[in-house]
Amino acid sequence: MKHDIFHRLISVMAALLMVMPLLMLSCVDEEIPCVDSPQGNFEALWQLMDERYCFFDYKKKELGIDWDEIHDRYSRRISSGMNREQLFQVLCDMIGELRDGHVNLGASFDYGRNWSYWEDFPENYYDSIARGYLGRDYNIAAGLSFRVLDDNVGYVRIESFSDGMGDGNISSMLQLLAGCRGLIIDVRNNGGGSLSNVETLVSHFTNSKVLVGYVYHKTGKGHNDFSKPEPMYVEPARGTRWQKDVVVITNRQSFSATNDFVKCMHTLPNVTLLGDRTGGGSGMPFNMELPNGWSVRYSAVVYLDAQGQHTEFGIDPDTLVMMNQSDVIKRKDTLIEAARSLFW
Q: Which residues bind another protein (CB under 8 A)?
A: 6-7, 10-11, 13-14, 17-18, 20-21, 24-25, 27-32, 34, 36, 44, 48, 52, 54, 108, 195-196, 215, 217-221, 225, 227, 230, 232, 284-289, 291-293, 295, 297, 300-301
Q: How far is the CB of 326 from another protein (least distance, A)?
A: 42
Q: How far is the CB of 257 from another protein (least distance, A)?
A: 11
**DSSP-assigned letter for residue 155:** E
Which residues are registered as beta bridge partners of 301? Answer: 217, 284
Please give the Cα distance from 46 to 87 (Å, whole number): 13
Which lies closer to another protein via its Cβ, residue 7 or residue 73?
Answer: 7
| Cβ atoms 235, 261 nearer than 8 A | no
Which lies closer to another protein via its Cβ, residue 139 or residue 194?
Answer: 194
Please give the Cα distance from 257 to 190 (Å, whole number): 9
Which lies closer to another protein via its Cβ, residue 221 or residue 331?
Answer: 221
Q: How far is the CB of 166 from another protein (least distance, A)?
A: 16
Three-class SS state of 318: coil
**Rounded to the nearest 5°, which phi and psi values hold at 82?**
-75, 150
Which lies closer to another protein via its Cβ, residue 175 or residue 196?
Answer: 196
Which lies closer to another protein via its Cβ, residue 117 or residue 298?
Answer: 298
Please give the Cα distance from 339 to 249 (Å, whole number): 8
Which lies closer to another protein via its Cβ, residue 296 or residue 339?
Answer: 296
Q: Which residues contact 219 (CB under 8 A, 6 or more apart)?
A: 225, 226, 227
Q: How far is the CB of 56 from another protein (least distance, A)?
A: 12
Please give the Cα distance from 99 to 280 (Å, whole number): 11
Please give the Cα distance from 317 to 278 (Å, whole number): 8
Q: How far is the CB of 198 from another protein (least distance, A)?
A: 11
Q: How far is the CB of 177 from another protein (least distance, A)?
A: 29
Look at residues 281, 314, 283 and name the one whose alpha carbon lies nearest to residue 218: 283
